[in-house]
Structure 1
Amino acid sequence: MTHAYCAIGKGSRALGWLLGLCVLALTAAPLAAASDARTEMEVSQRYEHLDSGFSSWQAQRLDAQHRTAAGLTWYGAALRERRYGEWDEGVEAGAAIPLGQYWVIQPEMGKAFDAGFLPSWYADLRIQRLLPDGWLGHASLRRTQYDDSQVDRLALGGERYWGNWRGAYTLNISDVEGAGTPVGHALALDHYYNDLSFVGMRASIGREEEGLPDGKVFTSSVSSFGVRGRHWLDAHWAVAWDLGWLSQGDIYNRYGIQLGIRRAF
């Protein structure tokens, strides 16, 4: 399965280090993954410290994915996050569906229950095309619905695989209802030091949107940098980790750490 996450966030762009993450951010081996069927589950905990007098954030996720022998991948997650002194819970689900030898279509949806700061729901459709010389192009359309605002996003990007390395760039153009059209840029570089284990970095810059507890959305200048990885201890168990920093303009700086345990069946 290729990387489902190259943009920042799922509607609330400041979710980038967690939701993503694309996952969703479920990062697996490049397109040349093994043909055997495989199921994986991961439980993770994230803690984020905010300056400027804001209280800390935290989040828990339970992710699951199943790849069939034919290459079709299903994935989903249950999550809960604490921000601004309150909790939000939600679910996500999606699939990566090969269409022939070169195309992959990836629909994904998510919903929050009694949403405060998370979006009420989002829907995303991503298309990928395998190109010559290790290149891969992708485009996606996402609609994110908050209580009092709607965000539409177009993401265009490319990836290149060479040896044990992967590099990626994504341009994000959002249309925020009542708040303009912010643009963001995201870069990624990963090194796979065996078939599945990897270490990589992420960086982003631009103007992006974030949901507030009252259901409104504001935009601000955002820059971020982080490193993350996954190390397989044996054929069944892996440790996932993520360290990141994000600056939300003049509002706050956020410093996060996430740890996860992954099990393959």
Structure 2
Amino acid sequence: MKLSVLTALFFLLSMPLQAQSYNQALEAGVGFDSLTGNYDNWQSAYIQYERSLSDETLGYLRFNQTRRFDLSDNEVLTGFYTELNENWQLFGELGGSGTSRVRPELQGQIILSRALNNGYLISVGAHRSRWPTSTTQGYSLQLERYFSQWRWSYRIRQDHLLGGDSALSHAATLSYFYDDWSAITLALNQGEEAEKIAPQQVLITNVKGISVYGLHQLSPSWGLRWAMSFNQQGDFYDRRGVLLGLRYRF
């Protein structure tokens, strides 16, 4: 789980869509990652706009600025989440970077979910990222359950570096929802991932990490986004990260 680029789905949905009572939201934040070895530290910043397109659909537009390996990238992402009917949901995202020094020049993902009995939800997804010199693609399968004020999930993800190796990773989360739209999550991950570990080098590396992140309601309109993470990227480096963001609903 790359906490320097938190998944769009978590940023978009801190709780089920039917619990969202606002039409629009604006969020901005900054992140910092400290790396061991001879690697430069990472910095990031983002701004995101969300809008309810209908009672069943939420859309968003996101701008990221990322600095890694002493290089900077700007990135634009757009996506949606929609309830197709009472059992099926669909999430999609497309974006890219015009400079693509450290971020993909084009990336996309799509996730289809189905609600089951007793609060269970099963999801299948596909993703693809293209850099100037490399392309990765893969699939994911996730099972999660909502019960009372809690949610747990387990995800298995496959990545394939075209012309190279394949990778398999596992991630598990436990979330607690409180105070209307506040949430805190503990996340663990282990396995292999395709990661850009240098400006011109995308490799399959062993990874393991732990993170804690959440959204805390400050008032009916304002919320505080936060995250702390620790990740081991094979033998290349260890990374410790923090993120803070401010969210306004209207």
2:16 to 19, 25, 30: 30
Corresponding residue number in structure 2 for 1:120: 105
Q: 1:125 to 1:21 in 2, by over 3 A?
A: closer
Does the 8 A contact of 1:37 with 1:68 survive in 2? no
Superposed counterparts of 1:63-212, under 5 Å:
63-212=48-197
- When normalised by structure 2's length, the TM-score is 0.95
Question: 2:13 is matched by which residue type in structure 1?
Answer: T
Post-superposition, which runs of at least 4 consecutive aligned residues in structure 1 deviate over 3 A?
A: 22-25, 212-216
Does the 8 A contact of 1:146 with 1:211 survive in 2? no
Structure 2 residue runs without a partner (length 5+): none
Structure 1 residue runs without a partner (length 5+): 1-7, 9-15
SS at match of 2:5: coil
Distance 1:106 1:134 in 2: 19
Q: 1:150 to 1:117 in 2, by over 3 A?
A: same
Question: 1:246 is matched by which residue type in structure 2?
Answer: N
SS at match of 2:118: helix
Q: Which string of whole-angstrom CA distances, capped at 9 and with x for unpartnered residues, describes residues 8-56 of structure 1?
A: 3xxxxxxx1032223464232125424x442111100001101112111
Distance 2:109 2:10 in 1: 11
Does the 8 A contact of 2:34 with 2:42 survive in 1? yes
Deviation at 1:68, TM superposition (A): 4.2
Query: What root-mean-square deviation, in Å, do the aligned CA atoms of Structure 1 and Structure 2 show?
Result: 1.5
Question: 1:172 is matched by which residue type in structure 2?
Answer: R
- When normalised by structure 1's length, the TM-score is 0.90
Residue identity (%): 24
Corresponding residue number in structure 2 for 1:20: 6
Question: 2:233 is matched by which residue type in structure 1?
Answer: Q
Higher mean displacement: 64-73 or 122-131: 64-73
Distance 2:195 2:38 in 1: 18
Does the 8 A contact of 2:230 with 2:238 survive in 1? yes
Does the 8 A contact of 1:141 with 1:155 survive in 2? yes
Question: 2:205 is matched by which residue type in structure 1?
Answer: S
2:25 to 21, 36, 40: 40
1:258 to 240, 243, 247: 243
